[in-house]
Structure 1
Amino acid sequence: MEKPTHLKFLVSNASAGSVIGKGGSTITDFQKESGARIQLSRNQEFFPGTADRIIMLSGKIDDVLKAMDLILNKLLSEIQSEDGDDAEQRSKVRLVVPNSCCGAIIGKGGVTIKSFIEESGASIKISPQDNNFIGLADRIVTLAGSFEEQMQAIDLILSKLSEDHLYLQSMNAPLSYPSVLFAGFHHVPYPFVPPPVGPAAYNNYGPQYNNYGPPNGGGGRYMNNTKEDRANSLTIGVADEHIGVVVGRGGRNISEISQTSGARIKISDRGDFMAGTSNRKVTITGSLRSIRAAEAMIKQKVDSVAEINEPL
């Protein structure tokens, strides 16, 4: 008898709503049609370092793949209705895989992941383990390509992972990450370019985060705190050419970020840059939780356009 397996992946809050449907109608239909169980993390329960919710599909491999097919088709059709025919090439699937199981995808000398890339035609990238989050034992596997290429890559990856008993055991892990602690700001190369000089006050970023900032206050973020939690503010620098993707058409993106996170977001006027840079000032105000969520969503928007413009 085939053992049940599972697959976890990330979706935006808006996409999670599309998967659930009005009164849960869509998720109920998808479960009936596929035979897989579909679970979502609760609203505001995000994967650490992101503003994205987690979806877990469980059941037989074929049932899980069918559910993934249904969900991705729905989300892709909605993206295409907004952004046109190029949406498929820009869409990405981000799988959540236990760190202990990533070796099976990579293979000795990278031979397995290379074969998966060749066979599927999809781009497959595995994130480094994020040491900024204490207790986080999962990594992100990002797939890019056409819908068919992504589904083929998912089939190959899931089949390989399902051979690993450790992976099958991880199906019982909770969807939320209550025991994961943020141990510092996430410093990776992205166009939130830090100013060349000036101190940054990282203390009081929530009770368990005090004094975890980098020495000498390096970084492009300035946290200003007051006694009232709702009055915290954070200023980050975003490259001028990437402000458009943060704002969105008719202000759609920035409105969505503000509504989802609960934070207020203000962008400096054109020509009003952070000292010594060509980066516009984006000031996020609200509770500590809402600020972190808004910053993660802004970073995600900037990352998406930065990757599209990367030279081949």
Structure 2
Amino acid sequence: MNINEREVLTSDGGLNVTLTIRLLMHGKEVGSIIGKKGETVKKMREESGARINISDGSSPERIVTITGASEVIFKAFAMIAEKFEEDINACMINSTVTSKPPVTLRLVFPASQCGSLIGKGGSKIKEIRETTGAQVQVAGDLLPDSTERAVTVSGTPQAITQCVRHICTVMLESPPKGATIPYRPKPSTAGTVLAQPHASSAFTIPGQYAIPHQDLTKLHQLAMQHIPLTSLGQNNPTFPGLEATIATSSHELTIPNDFIGCIIGRQGSKINEIRQMSGAQIKIAGATDGSAVRHVTITGSPANISVAQYLINARLSSVVAGLSVL
């Protein structure tokens, strides 16, 4: 996320700032935002007052740039998150699953600001998570050919929007250092997985992940090479350039009971597949009386943990869309 700051006076004499927020989306996510004949994005522009620009469509990933006064930006962001939630709800109409996955969005911002976002010992990101209720993850690796990193935020539209407000505050207080080389997605001809035998394309829910085969290969390589990806929910977050790098840490997830079967798979086939691909140890706690969720503990390097989370999220999303069976 790049934030360009310019102070302006609001109508009531208060201070406001002009921001630019960059989002990284897959093609189908962008299609949801654009809508038929561009009607959805036109409505978002008119109702929020924000400038919303979308990069060209030659790449499977697109950059959505939102510019405007801070309150205008947050209104546009809330509209995007709410649209993705509508899409998830629509996918669940004919689904037997009763619990829905959270809305997930990826933001892009200069790597030099990551330390401020994480805070000493992970204190700042912990504060943001506890205050907003949103889940936050920061990639430890730079996006290709850039000096930017991706931040993944998930939760309800309200939690996500509140979380972005907090992130923007941190970024405004800690401007990027040095020149920023922005991430520009490149065209790709990579094949896809998570498609069913007769499906014509990879699965994706707007706001969630599709997983091209090439990306899975890279993720697996990252995990095996122990290249750090920082999961901000970890007990011991790590980041290049920060103090100590912890080789092994743990991260806990909660998954609704309705979803746990699809993560385990028949005779444990799916959970074993995720363990093998990610290189992480994954333990699923037993069911607790009266609880609607199961606790999952992921242990390994930061890269192992991030890959495992990525694969679990994709598995949940595929079930909701009906492309997989429990």
TM-score (norm 1): 0.54
Q: Distance in 2 between matches of 1:146 and 1:18?
A: 18
Q: Distance in 2 between matches of 1:52 and 1:103?
A: 26
Mark the runs of 5 or more structure 1 residues left unpaired by the alignment: 46-50, 181-205, 207-229, 239-244, 264-276, 280-298
Residue 26 (str. 1) matches residue 40 (str. 2): yes
Determine if contact 2:113/2:174 at 8 Å carries over to the other structure: yes
Once the two structures are TM-superposed, the CA of residue 79 in structure 1 deviates from its matched residue by 1.7
Residue 256 (str. 1) matches residue 201 (str. 2): yes
2:196 to 241, 247, 261: 247
What is the match of residue 122 of structure 1?
134
Gap change, CA 1:25 and 1:63, over 3 Å in 2:
same
Once the two structures are TM-superposed, the CA of residue 307 in structure 1 deviates from its matched residue by 7.4
Gap change, CA 1:117 and 1:39, over 3 Å in 2:
same
Determine if contact 2:18/2:68 at 8 Å carries over to the other structure: yes
1:16 to 11, 27, 30: 30
Instruction: Tell me the alpha carbon deviations over residues 53-85 of structure 1, each in whole angstroms, 9 at most, x when there is no partner.
Output: 221111111111100111111121012111256
Q: Distance in 2 between matches of 1:130 and 1:165?
A: 18
Determine if contact 1:41/1:175 at 8 Å carries over to the other structure: no
- Letter matched to residue 201 of structure 2: E
Q: How does 1:67-82 map to 2 (within 5 A)?
A: 67-82=76-91
Identity in percent:
25
Residue 54 (str. 1) matches residue 68 (str. 2): no
Q: Distance in 1 between matches of 2:133 and 2:175?
A: 28
SS in 2 for 1:255: coil
Q: Distance in 1 between matches of 2:273 and 2:137?
A: 30
Determine if contact 2:81/2:103 at 8 Å carries over to the other structure: no
Once the two structures are TM-superposed, the CA of residue 302 in structure 1 deviates from its matched residue by 4.5
What is the match of residue 50 of structure 2?
36
Q: Distance in 1 between matches of 2:118 and 2:311?
A: 28
Determine if contact 1:90/1:308 at 8 Å carries over to the other structure: no
What is the match of residue 283 of structure 1?
none
- Letter matched to residue 184 of structure 2: S
Residue 148 (str. 1) matches residue 158 (str. 2): yes
Instruction: Tell me the alpha carbon deviations over residues 81-121 of structure 1, each in whole angstroms, 9 at most, x when there is no partner.
Output: 1125633x343121112111112211122211111011011
Residue 106 (str. 1) matches residue 118 (str. 2): yes
- Letter matched to residue 118 of structure 2: I
Determine if contact 2:113/2:175 at 8 Å carries over to the other structure: no
Mark the runs of 5 or more structure 2 residues left unpaired by the alignment: 1-7, 9-15, 204-209, 214-271, 275-307, 319-326
Instruction: Tell me the alpha carbon deviations over residues 106-165 of structure 1, each in whole angstroms, 9 at most, x when there is no partner.
Output: 11222111110110111111111248x3x3211111122222222221111122213333
Alignment RMSD (CA, Å): 4.1
- Letter matched to residue 108 of structure 1: K
Structure with larger RCO (C-alpha < 8 A, sep 6+): 2
SS in 1 for 2:152: strand
Higher helix share: 1
What is the match of residue 196 of structure 1?
none
Moved more, 139-148 or 72-81: 139-148
Q: How does 1:274-293 map to 2 (within 5 A)?
A: none
Determine if contact 1:94/1:140 at 8 Å carries over to the other structure: yes
Once the two structures are TM-superposed, the CA of residue 303 in structure 1 deviates from its matched residue by 5.3
SS in 1 for 2:17: coil
Q: Distance in 2 between matches of 1:307 and 1:126?
A: 21
Moved over 6 A (4+): none
Residue 176 (str. 1) matches residue 184 (str. 2): yes
What is the match of residue 266 of structure 2?
none
